[in-house]
Chains A and B, each alone.
Chain A
């Protein structure tokens, strides 16, 4: 098993700094959903990780901890992360993107 980045939606949606989306070395990996967290009454959208593209470098963790100081991203084992985003389940919309969450190991929700 291997580590991938996992973003805490509640912390992320309270700030909307979007720094991790800009600093990830991999393209189309840390994506941004403008409507995430709205059902929980949170102010902004949130970033999320398409874990099948994440190489586990943890640069986003450094950016979130040291530049943004939000501590919203943790590295977690792929089989212990629960349901998460995969590239095949990502849908792009008008100035946003969203993903139907699925289990990254079993491939089903």
Chain B
């Protein structure tokens, strides 16, 4: 959990694969990189077996670029498509049993704080809608109620994409899927509302057709989770297989869905605003000057 763990053991560098050498020499560790610089440095995400054109992959890639301190970050995931990519990155990945990811992350966060004290070590949970809103629902909500300081990111593809297209709690009402031929009978779960009620300090929805916004949201969520409290990001990451979206139309679909029902929203507590503006220079959260009182 430091810059040293990505370096070569002296004398072994020349035996390492090219990708590894590039990562050590030209990766984002110890530097400030942004989404606008991708293509000019070695990204921490490597090759992975996710489908061509998957929006979830795009979101995970952008999230990995956006981590404020990748050398001090651990990702936690669970069963689902996302873990196929998240685990193929040059940062530690912990696999929680299906639905256990927020429980695992709670222990991990507490352990890291005991071991490293105030030195920030970021824990980021990235799991699908099934792992988070259905099977891991209790652990997710309880971690928020306990005010565990880590970031939770839901990769919301609105279906169990990995197992053939069953409906999840996050599927929209009346949606017909391969394994839900009569259409879903219930509404999509309001995880955003529950995150606010449970006490998350930062809650946002985002769609990956705006990379800079994804970057900004991830950075804020991770920073808020260091000191203030739990943060939650819900990202629309369509499943182009189960929803039959041609791969070259995935971003068009993201744009349509963003306009229609997945608009960018951001909820942030006053305490988190003050923290971000004072420690990290977020000017948009500085207190607004009082409006000039009109002369009587």
Interface residues of chain A, those whose CB is within 8 Å of chain B, are 18, 21-28, 30-32, 34, 47, 53, 55-59, 61-63, 66-67, 87-88, 90, 92-93, 95-97
Which of chain A's residues have a CB closer than 8 A to the CB of B39?
Answer: 18, 21, 30-32, 47, 97
B46 within 8 A of A: yes
Q: For the complex formed, measure the closest distance between the CB of B244 and the CB atoms of chain A, giving whole angstroms.
A: 15
Please count how many residues in chain B sit with their CB below 8 Å of the partner chain's CB atoms.
Answer: 36
Contact of B61 among A27, A47, A57, A92 (CB under 8 A): A27
| Chain B 161-183 interface 0/1 with A at a Cβ cutoff of 8 Å (1 = within) | 00000000000000000000000
Contact B251 A62 (CB under 8 A): yes
Contact B41 A57 (CB under 8 A): no
Interface of A is mostly: mixed
Contact of A87 among B18, B57, B250 (CB under 8 A): B18
Which of chain B's residues have a CB closer than 8 A to the CB of A53?
Answer: 47
Contact B43 A28 (CB under 8 A): yes
Q: Give the contacts of B41-99 with A (CB-CB under 8 A).
A: 41-47, 50, 52-55, 57-58, 61-62, 64
Task: Kindly state the separation between the CA atoms of A36 and B115 in the bound complex, as whole angstroms.
Answer: 47
Q: For the complex formed, measure the closest distance between the CB of A44 and the CB atoms of chain B, giving whole angstroms.
A: 13
Which of chain A's residues have a CB closer than 8 A to the CB of B43?
Answer: 27-28
Which of chain A's residues have a CB closer than 8 A to the CB of B47?
Answer: 26-27, 53
Contact A58 B247 (CB under 8 A): yes
Task: Kindly state the separation between the CA atoms of A30 and B35 in the bound complex, as whole angstroms.
Answer: 13
Task: Kindly state the separation between the CA atoms of A28 and B42 in the bound complex, as whole angstroms.
Answer: 6
Contact A32 B250 (CB under 8 A): no
Q: For the complex formed, measure the closest distance between the CB of A22 and the CB atoms of chain B, giving whole angstroms.
A: 4
Contact B64 A27 (CB under 8 A): yes
Interface of B is mostly: helix
Task: Kindly state the separation between the CA atoms of A97 and B39 in the bound complex, as whole angstroms.
Answer: 7
Which of chain A's residues have a CB closer than 8 A to the CB of B38?
Answer: 21-22, 32
Which of chain B's residues have a CB closer than 8 A to the CB of A23?
Answer: 58, 209, 211, 251
Q: For the complex formed, measure the closest distance between the CB of A15 and the CB atoms of chain B, giving whole angstroms.
A: 15
| Chain B 16-46 interface 0/1 with A at a Cβ cutoff of 8 Å (1 = within) | 0011001001100000000111111111111
Contact B52 A55 (CB under 8 A): yes
Which of chain A's residues have a CB closer than 8 A to the CB of B37?
Answer: 95
Task: Kindly state the separation between the CA atoms of A35 and B98 in the bound complex, as whole angstroms.
Answer: 47
Task: Kindly state the separation between the CA atoms of A23 and B44 in the bound complex, as whole angstroms.
Answer: 16
Task: Kindly state the separation between the CA atoms of A63 and B39 in the bound complex, as whole angstroms.
Answer: 16
Q: For the complex formed, measure the closest distance between the CB of A28 and the CB atoms of chain B, giving whole angstroms.
A: 5
